[in-house]
Structure 1
Amino acid sequence: MASQVRLRLLPHARCLFDEPIQVKVAGLRSKQMVTMKARSTDERGVVFSSSATYRADGSGEIDLDRDPSLSGSYAGVEPMGLLRSLKADTLHQYFFKNKALDPFTVKFSVHEEEGRVLAEATNERILMGNGASRVSVKEGNIRGVLFIPPGEGPFPAVMDLCTFMSEKRPSLLANKGFVVLAVPVFSDKPGNFEKMHLDHFEEAVQFLQQLPQVGGKGVGVISRSKGGDIALSLAAFVPGVKAVVWINGCSANVGIPLYYKKQQILSPLMFNLNKMIPTESDANIIKYAVHNPLEEENKGSLVPIEHSMAHFLFVASEDDLNWDSKGYMDEMVERLKRHGKKNFDSVCYPAAGHLLEPPYGPHCPSALHGVVNFPVIWGGEPKAHAKAEVHLWKKLQEFLRSHLSCDATETKSKM
């Protein structure tokens, strides 16, 4: 039987991380029940797995684009369900895939009811397409990684403000025709920062503007979480920032005083950890621990985006349990409208959680928080969260392209 069963990954077993694949099985008995499994190991050596039960059609075939999972890690028709439902045996594990040069490798397999393997195939999901380049940058106060698309350009320039260094999103954006500089908000332990200097991030903006491959004068900034308020501050205070994608961040400067040109420009919005909500899984909901930025004593932390000429894309998940992203977004939209501004777009995902990432990676409902240093609940209904990631990935690229002037024709992603 094993030699007759075929497991195919279409159109190719090797693809970009953000591309879907079609999983098909042939050669089974008519109406045969089988278990489909996926397995992958992250960069820290943690094994993630998923499984789902399927029934073959009358011809002995299964097509995950068409057929529903009857039970397992998910139920219903989900073509990429085996990927988004990958999880570790232990709680609070985030799938670390942060290095652009190493592929995300997933082993798919088909098992009969007794457990015997009938067929296997390996999906190699790469972050850098053919011709894209990666360069470490250590210049002045900049500690980052630069990704350049194939070709001569000119290309639009984007700074990816990740809370901690991750090459996943910036490398994938380079495949789409953007020059991207990945810069972490925290290059050291957050507790070692008594103040944050906006000048250091301004250096990164200027670095991008001076690159020969970059077209146009403006730089885009994409951010999430703590990176969100740094991105807003760049738009409000630093010339050259033309477009900002703010994903599940805060409207105020969180946690650390922000300085620019040797003067404090924003006070820190602090936390009250007594307002955390513990859960049975030993992870905490910290959404309600953040002080209200609209209270009089906290207004010095609000980022004055109403003074910015940049264009904003605000993205908020209503099930973000890290903080009140939807509330912060609504406040910023209302403030800009009050000032007669129309330089913004907003999108809300009702059942998505905090960690909106490029699509087709494993959903992470809870994990160790790098700033507070204990496990937290990120939120998100898995299927809806995965759908939000697919939608946002396309939307943010369209937004950046439309607001970053560049003479180059759109560069297609290449394998």
Structure 2
Amino acid sequence: SAATISSQVRLRLLPRARCMFDEPVQVKARRQVVTMRARTTDDKGLVFSSSATYKADGSGEIDLERGSYAGVEPMGLLWSMRADTLHNRFIKTNSLNHHVVNFSVHEKAGEGRMLAEATNERLLIGDRVNRHPIKGAYPGPFPALLDLYTFGGGLSEKRASLLANRGFVVLTVALYGHDDMARNIKEVHLDYFEEAIEFFKKQDKVSVGVLSFSKTGDVALSIASYLPGVEATVGINGCCANTVLPFYHKKSQILPALMMDISKIVPTESGAFMCKNGMHNLLSEENKATLVPIKQAKGRFLFVASEDDLNWDSKAYMDQTVERLQRHGKDNFERVSYPAAGHYLEPPYGPYCPSSFHAFGAAEVHLWRKIQEFFRTHLSCDATQTKARL
């Protein structure tokens, strides 16, 4: 787990140098004061890096738990990695491509001479997980998840493969296949997702859940509201109205689109845009038809909102959804919000989106556990008895 360049320094990765993407790792070295660095490359070839200065404890050991992130997030070197240019999101789409992080120890001053280095191989797909295109029948019982990645950006297997490692059978679909296609889309069809749900329901003894994020949040609410058999739905920073594109089922429009007022989008000096107040008022009379009829959904919901989301007003949308459910006497939901988190909430210990605020990674760590607990509780199969499949 270490390559020592200086005889005075040894860099150790504990409990091992090879681990799963969503597992923490301890990074330790012996020297009074050092600069520790982390570096990785994403699937598009973009380099992400981070650094921090650490002081040794009384025994002369450097431990990331007592560094710049002490008391909050010892994995700070991992989640704080970013590209040299602003607003680049870490892209890891294929689960067969491991997340390889190079840790290095340097002398304190300036760039500093490198004293030791070690490589941390962080796996997205474990030895017990099978990855293949869907076909045929799969013997149950098993808990099945439809993982809806965000709008555009193609297909990502990261979240799906990590959940498969935890015992779920996961089918991951992009809202639309790639960026060019997303730019030319005029409408969204429920039939596309209905086919995926029907595939699961044809299997023996299967319970079905849906996991979503951002724009796919309103798609997930629609799936749970219009299609039977969805037992549990997680919506992360989504909207309670159908947004941007009209929604169709069997060639008929079922929901018009809540649109954005471009004049309310605020540019920042860094080149990012704050869209939080950009959507039209979904509670106004002319927009009420865009609201997803969530009262007719039979399953359970976990609503997740970041209070510092500047993409749109996720916390208000969550509160409005809960209020509507309560007004109809429903208690089939849980909710969680993160005061210091931004729009992107992904599995923990990867470089976060630099255009989102994160609560030192703590929100992602907490949410990742919460998602798994929620699905295990409300999907009627024992995930631990199933060989995972992706």
TM-score, normalisation: structure 2? 0.92
Letter in 2 for 1:380: F
Offset of 1:338 from its aligned partner? Answer: 0.5
**C-alpha spacing 1:332/1:153, structure 2 compared with 1 (3 Å):** same
For 1:20 and 1:129, the matched residues in 2 are separated by: 16
Matches within 5 A, 1:272-351: 272-351=261-340
For 2:78 and 2:115, the matched residues in 1 are separated by: 20
CA offsets 1:255-308 (integer angstroms, 9 cap, x no match): 111111221110011111111111100111111111111111111110000011
Matches within 5 A, 1:90-109: 90-109=85-104
* CA contact 2:140–2:203 (8 Å) conserved in 1: no
* CA contact 2:236–2:303 (8 Å) conserved in 1: yes
Partner in structure 2 of residue 45 of structure 1 = 45
Q: Which segment is superposed worse, 39-48 or 398-407?
A: 398-407
Offset of 1:202 from its aligned partner? Answer: 0.5
* CA contact 1:157–1:209 (8 Å) conserved in 2: no
Partner in structure 2 of residue 25 of structure 1 = 29
Partner in structure 1 of residue 67 of structure 2 = 68
* CA contact 1:127–1:168 (8 Å) conserved in 2: yes
Partner in structure 1 of residue 190 of structure 2 = 198
For 1:292 and 1:382, the matched residues in 2 are separated by: 29
**C-alpha spacing 1:329/1:160, structure 2 compared with 1 (3 Å):** same
For 2:77 and 2:53, the matched residues in 1 are separated by: 11
Structure with the bigger percentage of strand: 1
Letter in 2 for 1:333: V
Offset of 1:191 from its aligned partner? Answer: 2.9
* CA contact 1:363–1:382 (8 Å) conserved in 2: no
**C-alpha spacing 1:409/1:51, structure 2 compared with 1 (3 Å):** closer
Partner in structure 2 of residue 404 of structure 1 = 379
* 2:252 is aligned with 1:263: yes
For 1:43 and 1:101, the matched residues in 2 are separated by: 11
Partner in structure 2 of residue 130 of structure 1 = 127
Offset of 1:407 from its aligned partner? Answer: 5.0
**Residue from 373, 380, 383 that aligns with 2:357:** 380
* 2:231 is aligned with 1:242: yes
* CA contact 2:36–2:103 (8 Å) conserved in 1: yes
* CA contact 2:234–2:303 (8 Å) conserved in 1: yes
**C-alpha spacing 1:5/1:77, structure 2 compared with 1 (3 Å):** farther
Partner in structure 2 of residue 84 of structure 1 = 79
Letter in 1 for 2:258: L
Which secondary structure does the structure 2 equivalent of 1:118 belong to?
strand
* 2:9 is aligned with 1:5: yes
For 1:138 and 1:324, the matched residues in 2 are separated by: 40
Offset of 1:99 from its aligned partner? Answer: 1.1
Offset of 1:380 from its aligned partner? Answer: 1.8
Which secondary structure does the structure 1 equivalent of 2:345 belong to?
coil
CA offsets 1:78-113 (integer angstroms, 9 cap, x no match): 310100110111111111112100100000011113
Which secondary structure does the structure 1 equivalent of 2:19 belong to?
strand
Partner in structure 2 of residue 209 of structure 1 = 201
Q: Which has the higher contact order (CA 8 A, sep 6+)?
A: 2
For 1:236 and 1:339, the matched residues in 2 are separated by: 14
For 1:226 and 1:269, the matched residues in 2 are separated by: 12
Identity %: 62
**C-alpha spacing 1:280/1:138, structure 2 compared with 1 (3 Å):** farther
Which secondary structure does the structure 1 equivalent of 2:348 belong to?
coil
Offset of 1:37 from its aligned partner? Answer: 0.6
Offset of 1:75 from its aligned partner? Answer: 7.2
Gaps of 5+ in 1: 140-147, 367-378
**C-alpha spacing 1:205/1:382, structure 2 compared with 1 (3 Å):** same
For 2:235 and 2:273, the matched residues in 1 are separated by: 24
Which secondary structure does the structure 2 equivalent of 1:221 belong to?
strand
CA offsets 1:185-237 (integer angstroms, 9 cap, x no match): 1224323222211011000011122245xx33x31000001110110001110
For 2:210 and 2:322, the matched residues in 1 are separated by: 18
* CA contact 2:348–2:365 (8 Å) conserved in 1: yes
TM-score, normalisation: structure 1? 0.87
